[in-house]
Structure 1
Amino acid sequence: MDRRRGLMLAGLALLLAGVSALWMVQGLGAGNRGFILSLRATKLAALITVAVAIGVATVLFQTVAANRVLTPSIMGFDALYVLMQTLMVVVLGNAGFAGLPAGLKFGADVGVMTALSVALFGTLLVRGARDIPRMILTGVILGVLFRSVSGFLGRVLDPNEFAVVQSVSFASFNRVDAALLPVAGVLTAGAVLTALRLAPQLDVLALGREPAVSLGLRHRRLVMATLALVAMLVSVSTALVGPVAFFGLIVAGLAHGALQDARHAGLIPAAGLIAAILLVGGQWLFERVLGQAATLSVVVEFAGGLFFLYLLLKGRIR
């Protein structure tokens, strides 16, 4: 099994390298190649960072929740982000929001979302981890509450301010600030490496609360640490490109299906690699083949929604 896992991860890494190289050189003319490659390299780094963060965060969250259908976004993560952006526009105004330094805004988004998310999901999962329906219902209700507050505040904004809120309420892989990538990359890499170090403990956690505790695992401590990693990863990806609801669901499903192995030492890197392949390959498809006739984020959300319905129907059939 270890050999099969290694071969699978090596194959995914080679596929990612091939897709990345294809995207970098496709359509490269005889103009200023250095400038073009520099722009593409920045966007490639952003795509890989966001993909790895979303993929790994979803795998970790599903392990804690003991449910393969849940994602952090379904539990209201994206609604929390939109509410934060709306509040900043209301308080600072259009000019003040636009004038915020990118680094300060990114740090505030990541810090506040991480703190609130750990408090929210920690309360739901640690105290009610065995009551999955109640946890889902609570998360959905909170998401509806956040969206309702955002909608109400949006009604009192003038059209220009409302347009600013709308522009940051949907994911866009074309507006990533290159100056934020080093910090985002370091945070993502640190969280992923920490998750890999916790992989053996996560394997035990996936067995369930009672078996994990009986085996000597500090269940509450590990759950809170994992939630902090999830919050960090999703906050980084959301602050970079905006909310992406269902992409992680697709990635986690493909990672489990490809490896056929529940051990997190393989699942975590597989999820990151598959997510990066899908985003980079999808961006290449829309830019070079379809001539930007569609938006990647919209297609990802549509496919993810269909996959979510498939998982629900599959569960009912069984």
Structure 2
Amino acid sequence: MAYKKKMVWLAAAALVLIAIFMTIKAGGNWDYILPRRSLKVLAIILTGTAIAYSTLVFQTITNNRILTPSIMGLDSLYMLIQTFVIYVFGSKSLTMVDNNLNFLLCVGLMVLFSAVLYKILFKRDQQNIYYLLLIGIIFGTLFQSMATFMQVLVDPNEFQVIQDKSFASFNNINNNLIGIAGILMVLVFAYFWRFNKYLNVLSLGRDQAINLGVDYDYVVKRLLVAVAILISISTALVGPITFLGLLVVNVTYEFMRTYNHKYLILGSIFISVIALVGGQLIVERVFTFSTTLSVIINFVGGVYFIYLLLKENKSW
């Protein structure tokens, strides 16, 4: 019962923040303000849900609370795609001007990269999950180096466009992108939701899960595909937010005090929405758009990451 009360409090806090965000300084211009702010809220809910769920599943699979799916190099691949298109075709090319095409290109290439990586590394039986993470780090570093190399060669005006792509933003999001992202996420959850029942067992570790009758490799491969798709969608929709998943999932663990993923999934989604809506309010009302939401999230998440490392080191 205590968990249900906590869920109610989180849901109420999220709804209150959303109501404040929708109505603050509206000045009676509801016909103009409500549609624009509604798009931001929808984008925040989609992004928060995708990042929270994928990070929680990823940490459960790896049995490590300081890892996030960004370790697979998908954020770096996103920046490489944006940089490559601008470097070769320019910022006025159809791929950059057409947000729908750019979104589908980024999602498609990131999912394709993940699928090829999983196919190669899981081709042999008994492949260690940490080997996959190591390869992801290597590819992430490679993609980042290639993107940086092309960035120093482009025109300064083109470089500014690349810089804008490197920070997550919920401003001026295309209506069609939100619709496409929403449909894709619904399809992903509809197919992969049936694997959630294994998460509690997977959190015990590979050997224990196998002993309890779980087809470990089959389940983990499908869950990793879901993680890759969701991270690709959220990154292509608003841009990379590196530390959001690390922050909200660990706060969820501390707040919920349970390992039941039924509560952890919903709790992390609510906390993610709270963090994003609250952060967007700070960006708009305190900093008056002089900074971006990803800067605030990454700063807070980075400090919390250092705290987690010191905490784990102290426990050793």
CA contact (8 A) 2:96 2:102 kept: no
CA distance in 2, matches of 1:43, 1:219: 38
CA distance in 1, matches of 2:161, 2:284: 25
Residue 49 (structure 1) aligned with residue 46 (structure 2):
yes
User: What is the identity, as a one-letter code, of the residue corresponding to 1:247?
Assistant: L
The 3 A distance-change label for structure 1 pair 290 and 271 is same
Identify which of 135, 138, 141 aligns with 1:144: 141
What runs of 5+ residues in structure 1 fail to find an aligned partner?
none
CA distance in 1, matches of 2:189, 2:286: 33
Secondary structure of 1:181's aligned partner:
helix
Paired residues, what number?
312
Identify which of 193, 197, 201 aligns with 2:194: 197
**What is aligned with 2:224?**
227
Secondary structure of 1:73's aligned partner:
helix
CA contact (8 A) 2:17 2:274 kept: yes
**What is aligned with 2:127?**
127
Secondary structure of 2:91's aligned partner:
helix
**What is aligned with 2:23?**
25
Identify which of 188, 213, 223 aligns with 2:210: 213
The 3 A distance-change label for structure 1 pair 50 and 145 is same
CA contact (8 A) 2:85 2:95 kept: no
**Offset at residue 182 of structure 1 (A):** 1.2
Further displaced range: 36-45 or 178-187: 178-187
What runs of 5+ residues in structure 2 fail to find an aligned partner?
none
**What is aligned with 2:12?**
14
**Offset at residue 61 of structure 1 (A):** 0.8
User: What is the identity, as a one-letter code, of the residue corresponding to 2:8?
Assistant: A
Q: How does 1:48-197 map to 2 (within 5 A)?
A: 48-97=45-94, 100-120=97-117, 127-129=127-129, 132=130, 136-192=133-189, 194-197=191-194
What do the CA deviations read for 1:39-84 (whole angstroms, capped 9, x no partner)? 1111111111111111111101111111111001133221111011
What do the CA deviations read for 1:210-250 (whole angstroms, capped 9, x no partner)? 11112221111111111111111111110011111111100
CA contact (8 A) 2:168 2:292 kept: no
CA contact (8 A) 2:55 2:68 kept: yes
CA distance in 1, matches of 2:55, 2:96: 33
Further displaced range: 38-47 or 136-145: 136-145
CA distance in 2, matches of 1:16, 1:285: 15
CA distance in 2, matches of 1:165, 1:99: 10
**Offset at residue 109 of structure 1 (A):** 1.0
Secondary structure of 1:94's aligned partner:
coil
User: What is the identity, as a one-letter code, of the residue corresponding to 2:2?
Assistant: R
CA distance in 2, matches of 1:227, 1:114: 11
**Offset at residue 140 of structure 1 (A):** 2.8
Report the TM-score when normalising by structure 1.
Answer: 0.90
The 3 A distance-change label for structure 1 pair 254 and 194 is farther
**Offset at residue 23 of structure 1 (A):** 0.8
User: What is the identity, as a one-letter code, of the residue corresponding to 1:128?
Assistant: N
CA contact (8 A) 1:196 1:264 kept: no
The 3 A distance-change label for structure 1 pair 158 and 245 is same
**Offset at residue 102 of structure 1 (A):** 2.0
User: What is the identity, as a one-letter code, of the residue corresponding to 2:18?
Assistant: S
CA contact (8 A) 1:89 1:97 kept: no
Further displaced range: 170-179 or 268-277: 170-179
Q: Percent identity?
A: 39
Residue 249 (structure 1) aligned with residue 246 (structure 2):
yes
